[in-house]
Structure 1
Amino acid sequence: MPITVVDPQRVEALVAELQAALPGAVSTDKGDLDRASTDGSHLSPVIAAQLPLGRAQVVVTPASVDDIPVVVRAAVRHGVPITPRGKGTANYGQTLPMAGGIVLDLSRLRRVVEVGDGFLTAEAGAALIAVEQAANRAGQQVLLYPSTAQSTIGGFVSGGSGGTGSIRHGMLHTGFVTALDVVHATTDAEIVHLEGEATEPYLHKYGTVAIIARVTVRLEPLQDWRALFASFDDFHDLVGVIQRIGALEPTPRLVSGDGAVLAAALPKDPAIVPGTASLRAILDEATVAEATALIEAAGGTVVDVRSGPQACIKLSMTSYNHPIEWLQKAYPNTYFHVEVLGDGLVDRLDELEAVYPGGMLHIEAQRGRPIGMLAGRYSSPEEVYAGFPRIEALGIGYHNPHQWFVDYEPEATRELAATTDPHGILNPGKLDVAPTVDTGSQL
C-alpha cells in the first residue's frame, strides 16, 4: 500500500524545535527511521504481504518522562502524528507509523520507580523481565507477563492481553493495572495521573487515546516455581488433561501444550522429546507431585523438573504466540494462525485441526476454558477468513489477529479519543473502520 507522509516542511520545523528543546533525543537517520518503521508483523502473512504500512519521518527518544509532554505539545502545534513504541515486538502492525510523522521511542524510559507492598511502578520502557526481577528482589512477583518477556510494560498494557499468570489472574482488564501516568494529545499536554477504574479505557488501545508514560501494577507474594516438562505419545491425551493441571491449587502460572510437529519447531531442549507431544508448565513446588500423577495417569511421562526464575522465563518463551513464531522459523512462508477459545479445543480437536490444511493446535490451560492458537498452511487471506465460520460452527470462539485496528471496545475508544486526541495525531490508522471481513468473537 502507498506510504503516507506528513508535509516535509512541517516535519523540518518540528525537528528544529525538538532538537533545541531535547538535544540528542531526535533523529532523522535513515537506519533509525527504518528500525522504527518495523515490528513483528511477519507473524501474519496476511499483513506481511501489505508491508510497508508506514514510515517514520523522525524518531524521538526521550530521556525523561517529563520530555513526553514537550514532544506532544510540539507535535500538536505542527500537526504531526505520533506513534508510540516500546521494543517493537507488536505482531500485527500496531506500532507502525501509518501516517508517517514521529515514532516516539520510549525504550530509554526503563526505570523501576518504586516497589511497595503489593505494587510496582515503572516507566513505560521498562522490560517485563526487569519488572519481574525487581519484584522478586522484594519477595514478590507480578501477576502476569507476556511470553515475550523482553517486551516493555508500556507496550504490554497498550497492546498485549495476557500470558504467564493468566490462569489465575485473567487478562489485562482484570485489575492488573492500578495506576497510569499518561499524556493526552492536546495543546496544553501534561502528565495526567489515573487510578483504579479510570485506567481501564487506556488499556489495549495501541496508544490511540494517550501516550502511556508510567505504569503501576499489582504484585503478589513470591512463590517457589518449578518448570515442568512432560511428553505424550498422543496429543489427544495431553489435551484431555491440560485443564485438570491448570485447575491445581496453588494455581499454576502456565500450562502449554503442542503436538509433535509444533513441538519439534521449538528451541532444542533435551526435555522436548522428538516425535512426541510436549506439555510444559510453571507449577508451584507444592503441586509438582500431583501434576506428575495426573500426567502419568493420562499416559504421559514427566521428563524434567527445573527450578529457578531463568528456567521459568525460558519456558514462558514457548507459550502463547511463540510456538507459532518458532514454527514459522522452521518452515518459512508456510504457516499462519488464528486465536481460538473454548471447550471445543478439547472435545472437537480433530475437527478443529481439520479446518485448515496442515492444521495444528497450540493449547493453553486457562481459567474457565482453554485457549489456543490454531496454525494452518497459508495460501491466501480469503482461505484464512473462510475458516472462521467453520470454527464457529464447532462452538469454538475465534479472533482474527491479522489486522491492526483497535477491536476492543472500538466505539468507546473513538469517543475517548475525541477528547484526549482532538487533532487525531495519536497513532493514526488504528481507529479507522475495520475491514469488512468479520474479525470474529473476542478472546
Structure 2
Amino acid sequence: MNAPASAIEQLQLGLPELDWITDPNRIQRLSQDFSWFSPVLTRQLEGKVADAVVRPRTEEQIRQVVAACARLKLPLTLRGSGTGNYGQTTPLAGGVVLDMTSFNELLWLRPGLARAQAGIRLNEIEKAAQAEGQELRCMPSTYRSATLGGLFGGGFGGVGSINYGPLAAPGNVVGLKAMTIEPEPQIIELRGAEAMRMHHLWGTNGLVLELEIGLAPAQPWLETLAVFDDFDAALAFADQLARAPGLDKREVAFLASPVPDYLTQLAESLPKGCHAVLSLVAEAGEEALAELVSAHGGRVSYRRTAAEVSKSHKTLMEYTWNHTTLHALRVDKSLTYLQTTFTPGEYVRQITELSRRYAGEVFMHAEFLRNMEGQTNCSALQIVRFTTEERLQQIIDEHRAYGVRINNPHTFIVEDGKAGGDLPEDVLAMKARFDPLGLLNPGKLRGWPVGAAS
C-alpha cells in the first residue's frame, strides 16, 4: 500500500506544467540570500531550506500556485534574485519558494514613470529608460541582478537617493498590483501611501505582482574617486559636495581608512591608508568638483566619463552601499557590518566621534542621501571587525545610547531590524487582508510565528 502523497507532492502533481526546481542543491541555493554577511544570521538560519521551488512565468501560473498553497496550508516565501542580506528569502518553515524572476515584463514607460512586473531586473528598466532619456530614481548597487520586487520588498534606497531620498519617499513608488493568499486569490491595485504598507516587509504581508515607479531625467554621470590623507578633510569635502545645490549628483559615499584598502580592484587609485570619497557628478560639473577637491587638500585619483563607463561595463556604483561590504568580506571573512542612520545637521560630528570611539573595530562607510523630509543626511554601512555576538550587540546598544538609529542587520525579524517596536496598525491590517492564513514567509513577523497558520 502506497503512503499518501505529502502536501508538496500533491501541489506538484496538481500543477505539472509549471517550472518546478527539484535538484536539492538548487533548492538549497534558492532558499538563501546574502545573509552570510552576518555571522549571527549564518548561525540562526543554518539548515533552513524550502521543500520545493517554483518559477512561474504568468500571472495565471502565480494564481494557481497561490490557490493550491492556500488550500494545502503550505508556507509560501517570495524570492527575487536573493541579493538581500537579512535571510528574508530563507523559509523558516519549509514550504514553497516562489521564484519571481521569470515574471519580468516591462509593461510601459512614460515621462517620469515606469510600470513593470515584480521579477524584472532593475538593469533592464534602467537600459530601457535611458533609451528614452530617463533613468531610475534610486537603485541598489546590485542593480544588475536585483529585481524590482526585491528592491520594494527588502530595499531602502541606494544610488540616486542623494536626490530622491529613500524608496519610501512619496512619488518614488506610485502604485502596485498585489494578490491575496487564499484559495480564491484576489487581484487588488494599491496606490500611493496604501501601496507603501507592503514596502520593506520582506514579502510577509502581500504578493506584489507589478510596481509603478517614478523615473528621473537621465544625465551623463562622471564617476570619480577623490583621495585624502586627512579624515576630517575628506568628510568635510563629502559633506560640502552632497549639499552643493549647483552640482547635480547621483552618488556621494565617504570611505574612511581602512575601507578603501578592501577595494582591491581599485587599488591603483586608492593609496594604502587613504580616506576616499566616491561620487557620480554630472559631467557639466567637473570643473566645480575639481575645485572642491583641491580646496580640501585632496586629489582626483580615478575619473571615468559616462561614455567610458558604458564602454567598459565597469561602474563605481558597484563599490557603494552594501557592495562595499561585499568587497571587504571577499578580502577578510571575519568582517561584518552595521546599518546606522545619523541626525540631519549633526552627522559630521556623529561620524567623527563614533569613528574615533571605535577605531580599529568599526570602520566608517557613510552614504549621503536626502531623508523623508528632504534634508541632507547620512546613512552608514560601517564595516565591523567581528569578535563575538555579545560584543556586536554591545556595539549596537552603545550606538543607540549615543543617539543614532541602528537598523539591526543581524536579525530575521522585521520589527527587530527596524530598531524594535511594533508595526503600525495599518500595516498589520494589510497583512490580515492579503495573507489571512498567515502563509507568507512565516516566522519573520512577531505576530505570525512559524506554525501560526496551522
Task: Tell me if both proteins adopt one fold, taking TM over 0.5 as the criterion.
Answer: yes
- What residue in structure 2 maps to residue 81 of structure 1? 75
* Preserved CA contact (<8 Å) 1:167 1:251: no
CA distance in 2, matches of 1:292, 1:357: 31
- What residue in structure 2 maps to residue 221 of structure 1? 217
* Preserved CA contact (<8 Å) 2:18 2:61: no
CA distance in 2, matches of 1:245, 1:117: 29
* Preserved CA contact (<8 Å) 2:45 2:87: no
Q: SS at 1:352's partner residue? A: helix
Q: 1:366 aligns with which of 348, 369, 382?
A: 369
Runs of 4+ in 1 over 4 A off after TM superposition: none
CA distance in 1, matches of 2:11, 2:327: 41
Find out whether 1:421 has 2:435 as its counterpart.
yes
Q: For residues 96-125 of structure 1, what are the alpha-carbon distances to aligned partners after superposition, in whole Å with 9 as ceiling and x for unaligned?
A: 111110000011122212111211111111
Q: SS at 1:321's partner residue? A: helix
Q: SS at 2:338's partner residue? A: strand
Q: Measured at CA, do residues 334 and 203 of structure 1 come closer, stay the same or move farther in structure 2, by a change above 3 Å?
A: closer
Out of 208-217 and 398-407, give the one that drifted further.
Answer: 398-407
- What residue in structure 1 maps to residue 147 of structure 2? 152
* Preserved CA contact (<8 Å) 2:438 2:448: no
* Preserved CA contact (<8 Å) 1:121 1:214: yes
CA distance in 2, matches of 1:189, 1:298: 59
- What residue in structure 1 maps to residue 406 of structure 2? 398
* Preserved CA contact (<8 Å) 1:230 1:302: yes
Structure 1: gaps (5+ residues): 1-6, 436-443
Q: For residues 193-235 of structure 1, what are the alpha-carbon distances to aligned partners after superposition, in whole Å with 9 as ceiling and x for unaligned?
A: 2222321111111111111111111112211211111111122
Q: SS at 2:412's partner residue? A: coil
Q: SS at 1:414's partner residue? A: helix
Q: 2:395 aligns with which of 367, 372, 387?
A: 387
CA distance in 2, matches of 1:272, 1:106: 39
- What residue in structure 2 maps to residue 410 of structure 1? 423
Q: SS at 1:63's partner residue? A: coil
CA distance in 2, matches of 1:239, 1:349: 9
* Preserved CA contact (<8 Å) 2:337 2:381: no
Instruction: Tell me how far 1:433 sits from its aligned partner.
Output: 5.6
Q: 1:430 aligns with which of 444, 447, 454?
A: 444
Q: SS at 2:15's partner residue? A: helix
- What residue in structure 1 maps to residue 176 of structure 2? 180
Instruction: Tell me how far 1:400 sits from its aligned partner.
Output: 1.4
* Preserved CA contact (<8 Å) 2:338 2:406: no
CA distance in 2, matches of 1:279, 1:79: 51
Find out whether 1:117 has 2:115 as its counterpart.
no
Out of 73-82 and 10-19, give the one that drifted further.
Answer: 10-19
* Preserved CA contact (<8 Å) 1:69 1:191: no
| 1:319-358 to 2 correspondences below 5 Å | 319-342=320-343, 344-353=346-355, 354-355=357-358, 357-358=360-361
* Preserved CA contact (<8 Å) 1:340 1:373: no
Instruction: Tell me how far 1:192 sits from its aligned partner.
Output: 2.1
Instruction: Tell me how far 1:312 sits from its aligned partner.
Output: 9.1
Give the aligned residue type for 2:431: A
Q: SS at 1:97's partner residue? A: coil
Matched positions, count: 426
* Preserved CA contact (<8 Å) 1:253 1:281: yes
- What residue in structure 2 maps to residue 278 of structure 1? 276
CA distance in 2, matches of 1:215, 1:271: 39
* Preserved CA contact (<8 Å) 1:344 1:396: no
Instruction: Tell me how far 1:340 sits from its aligned partner.
Output: 3.9
Q: Measured at CA, do residues 190 and 403 of structure 1 come closer, stay the same or move farther in structure 2, by a change above 3 Å?
A: same
Q: 1:201 aligns with which of 191, 197, 200?
A: 197
Give the aligned residue type for 1:287: G
* Preserved CA contact (<8 Å) 1:208 1:426: yes
CA distance in 1, matches of 2:275, 2:117: 40
- What residue in structure 2 maps to residue 99 of structure 1? 93
Q: SS at 2:211's partner residue? A: strand
- What residue in structure 2 maps to residue 171 of structure 1? 166
CA distance in 2, matches of 1:295, 1:53: 50
Give the aligned residue type for 2:315: K
| 1:48-87 to 2 correspondences below 5 Å | 48-52=42-46, 54-87=48-81
Q: Measured at CA, do residues 394 and 115 of structure 1 come closer, stay the same or move farther in structure 2, by a change above 3 Å?
A: same
- What residue in structure 1 maps to residue 373 of structure 2? none
Out of 269-278 and 171-180, give the one that drifted further.
Answer: 269-278
Instruction: Tell me how far 1:382 sits from its aligned partner.
Output: 1.6
Q: Measured at CA, do residues 171 and 371 of structure 1 come closer, stay the same or move farther in structure 2, by a change above 3 Å?
A: same
* Preserved CA contact (<8 Å) 1:162 1:172: yes
Out of 353-362 and 323-332, give the one that drifted further.
Answer: 353-362
Q: SS at 1:213's partner residue? A: strand
TM-score by length of 1: 0.90
- What residue in structure 2 maps to residue 35 of structure 1? 29
- What residue in structure 1 maps to residue 318 of structure 2? 317
TM-score by length of 2: 0.88
Give the aligned residue type for 2:129: A
* Preserved CA contact (<8 Å) 1:335 1:378: yes
* Preserved CA contact (<8 Å) 1:355 1:391: no
- What residue in structure 2 maps to residue 441 of structure 1? none
- What residue in structure 2 maps to residue 268 of structure 1? 265
Give the aligned residue type for 1:115: L
CA distance in 1, matches of 2:447, 2:395: 22
CA distance in 1, matches of 2:443, 2:377: 33
* Preserved CA contact (<8 Å) 2:257 2:363: no
CA distance in 1, matches of 2:396, 2:359: 10
Q: SS at 2:369's partner residue? A: coil
- What residue in structure 2 maps to residue 189 of structure 1? 185
Q: Measured at CA, do residues 209 and 313 of structure 1 come closer, stay the same or move farther in structure 2, by a change above 3 Å?
A: farther
Instruction: Tell me how far 1:416 sits from its aligned partner.
Output: 1.8
* Preserved CA contact (<8 Å) 2:253 2:366: yes
Q: SS at 2:396's partner residue? A: helix
Instruction: Tell me how far 1:357 sits from its aligned partner.
Output: 4.9
Q: Measured at CA, do residues 8 and 84 of structure 1 come closer, stay the same or move farther in structure 2, by a change above 3 Å?
A: farther
CA distance in 2, matches of 1:45, 1:203: 26
CA distance in 2, matches of 1:132, 1:417: 31
Q: 1:162 aligns with which of 141, 157, 161?
A: 157
Identity %: 29
Q: SS at 2:381's partner residue? A: strand
* Preserved CA contact (<8 Å) 1:92 1:404: yes
